[in-house]
A and B are shown apart, each in its own frame.
Chain A
Amino acid sequence: MSSMAYSTALDSSPPSGEAVYGRMASEGLDTSHGAILYLDDISVSFDGFKALNKLSLSIDVGELRCVIGPNGAGKTTMMDVITGKTRPDEGTAFFGQTIDLARLSEAQIAQAGIGRKFQKPTIFEQHTVFENLELAMKSDKRVRRTLFARLSSEARDRIAAMLERVGLAGAAERVAGLLSHGQKQWLEIGMLLMQEPRLLLLDEPVAGLSDDETERTAELFLTLAGKHSLVVVEHDMAFIARIARKVTVLHEGSVLAEGPHEQVQADARVIEVYLGR
């Protein structure tokens, strides 16, 4: 299991706030250089086709980063690499200063504090909404613990609070498969938050949502930024404009442009990649 000893170097200046930093150190994640995720020269190929080509990227603690790019640019593959689903052929991926993601399984990466929302909403369709959140909740996830696990009243309260937060308070006992598409998207976000991840990866979180739901999602993400680090992959440019601070443009598996939203939007190469299609 996750018996790796993460060294906790407690040096140098805390980045974006004492309180945040203190909690990180206590959980064994070393973000002393201000960044929570480093991708360095990552390459992934599928049968000779390079889905990622020397991709380098770093995400700061508490940052909300938008990643855009045409279909097939490698956005989902990048998330697969970070979460351990796909192993890179070359390059390194670090969570904080010390956690080498290449050496951890998917489950260990999740336990280390990286949560992921899939492009297609993925929830437990046959479980109730409440059970979905219960299963996702941060806890000891070993077999012998879940055999005898009982929900404490504190845990129930946390689930209730999350139900409220994602607008599903009235649907706690509903079978999740019967939810609307938008509710499923939100349930999955709720599950992610129950894990208390340090870094959230959100793959097209507003795909198929109504304008109203999209707006509420934007608000939610803005409140999450700072407490968590977020990487949001989206196609919806209006949504990006609403939440974006720093934007990374992927193209053919590498970074084409990166910077503040307005600057990227005005970039000639970016316009060409998007309009050229």
Chain B
Amino acid sequence: MTRLFSARGWIALAAFAAALLLVVPVLALVVPQGSALHLSQYWVGLCGKFLCYAIVALAMDLVWGYAGILSLGHGLFFALGGYAMGMYLMRQIGLDGVYHSPLPDFMVFLDWKAYPWYWSFTEHFWYCAALVVLVPGLLAYVFGWFAFRSRIKGVYFAIITQALTYAALLLFFRNDTGFGGNNGFTDFKRILGIPIATPQMRVVLFMLSAGALIGSLLLARWLVSSKFGRVLAAIRDAEPRVMFCGYNTEHYKLFVWTLSAVLCGIAGALYVPQVGIINPSEMSPANSIEIAIWVAVGGRGTLVGALLGAFAVNGAKSFFTQAFPEIWLYFLGLLFVLVTLFLPQGVVGALRLLRRGKPAPAA
């Protein structure tokens, strides 16, 4: 029977979980400031951000690596989850905004007198938490329903997802849309009434992100090692054969596509309180392409590769954008070209190849 992980896999996962859920909190909160081992708020925030990206990478790997559906619009689902959480965080500002109005500053600025209808109930945490899941999920479901029914595939599908996220970008850019225009949401003060910018809250958010990542990894691993996962991979490799075996492949694609969007939404919701801002740039087509690059670099269809890719590329990005901001995009482009040419199965694929010492069947 297929097990979820090998013994070594479980040990690695337990070590990863312990590092995130024990070591990081201790280094950040217990080890005193000034000690060489102390983890500053900056680092906790940065690592927490990476954890959210890693969830997105996993979600991407599920659809691209396993079902063969290349999405270049996953940033949209991430951003929508972020905006849903952002609405709640805006409500939590209360009267502490610049204008001391119950409305967010940007609405005061627009001379709006009341919240528009679609902001109803957003003062309730659980309502917004539901939106985090439902908005990306529903959008993905409806979009996927039409796309998969019409049998849109490959490059065409990827281009349409780019168009979708771009259209959303333009929509959210407008002030009249009611989501803060190009500034988006920022200046958050509290979450559940608790101040948001404290070291303790940062660690809590970090641990929640770590929990969500580990949960996503277990879920994804369970999915791909079930018969469902084998059907997905079969769809990726020979969809007509799967249909003529009696599987309705649309349903399979729609399920994994929607699930993937929901995971992105959750990641976005955890991301926003940690970085303290959400704006339409998260929906830019380039952002979604970057997500695909993380997975390509790490290795498609491996899950672990998606995690590694997200950490490695974003680590490099943090370094470059500080040290040599002007060359980051060239570096990213070069990385993508090199990986495509020399590591078509990504880092993890190449490592497996080395270990086995013989070529694996092409992905």
Instruction: Enumerate chain A interface residues (CB-CB to B < 8 A).
Output: 1, 83, 85, 105-108, 110-111, 115-116, 118, 122-127, 131, 134-136, 138, 141-143, 146-151, 175, 177-178, 191, 195
Contacts and interface: CB of A to CB of B under 8 A. Distances in A.
A48 to B, nearest CB: 23
A143 B228 contact: yes
A107 B237 contact: no
Given A146-B227, A148-B226, A124 B252 contact: no
B244 A106 contact: yes
B23 interface: no
Contacts of B244: 83, 106, 110, 115-116
A115 B244 CA distance: 7
A110 B242 CA distance: 10
Contacts of B226: 146-149
B238 A124 contact: yes
A146 B228 contact: yes
B245 A141 contact: yes
Contacts of B228: 143, 146-147, 149
Given A125-B361, A178-B361, A141 B248 contact: yes
A124 B248 contact: no
B234 interface: yes
A126 B227 CA distance: 14
B230 A142 contact: no
A151 B361 CA distance: 26
B234 A143 contact: no
Contact of B231 (A85, A135, A150, A191): A135
A231 to B, nearest CB: 14
A107 B238 contact: no
Contacts of A146: 226-228, 231
Contact of B247 (A85, A131, A141): A141
B241 interface: yes
Contact of A124 (B223, B233, B255, B363): B233
A134 B242 CA distance: 12
12 contacts: A106-B240, A106-B244, A107-B249, A108-B248, A125-B238, A126-B361, A127-B230, A135-B245, A136-B245, A143-B251, A147-B227, A149-B228
A125 B361 CA distance: 8
Contacts of A105: 243, 248
A135 B243 contact: no
A147 B228 CA distance: 5
Given A177-B361, A178-B361, A126 B247 contact: no
B243 A124 contact: no
B245 A191 contact: yes
Interface string B160-199: 0000000000000000000000000000000000000000
B357 interface: no
A152 to B, nearest CB: 12
Given A110-B245, A131-B230, 8 more contacts: A108-B248, A124-B233, A135-B242, A146-B228, A147-B226, A148-B226, A149-B227, A151-B1
A151 to B, nearest CB: 8
Contacts of B255: 143
Nearest to A85: B240
Contacts of B247: 107, 141
Interface in B308-363: 361, 363
Contacts of B231: 135, 146
Nearest to B238: A122
A124 B246 contact: no
A110 B230 contact: no
B230 A111 contact: no
Given A134-B230, A148-B226, A123 B241 contact: yes
Contacts of A142: 248, 251
Contacts of B361: 125-126, 175, 177-178
Contacts of B230: 127, 131, 134-135
Contacts of A149: 226-228
Contacts of A122: 238, 240-241
Contacts of B1: 150-151
The 5 A-B residue pairs whose C-beta atoms are closest, nearest first, are: A110-B246, A177-B361, A106-B243, A149-B227, A111-B246
Nearest to A1: B248
A127 to B, nearest CB: 6
A135 B242 CA distance: 8
Contacts of B233: 124, 126-127
A255 to B, nearest CB: 25
A141 B246 contact: yes
A171 to B, nearest CB: 15
B243 A127 contact: no
B227 A134 contact: yes
Contacts of A110: 243-246
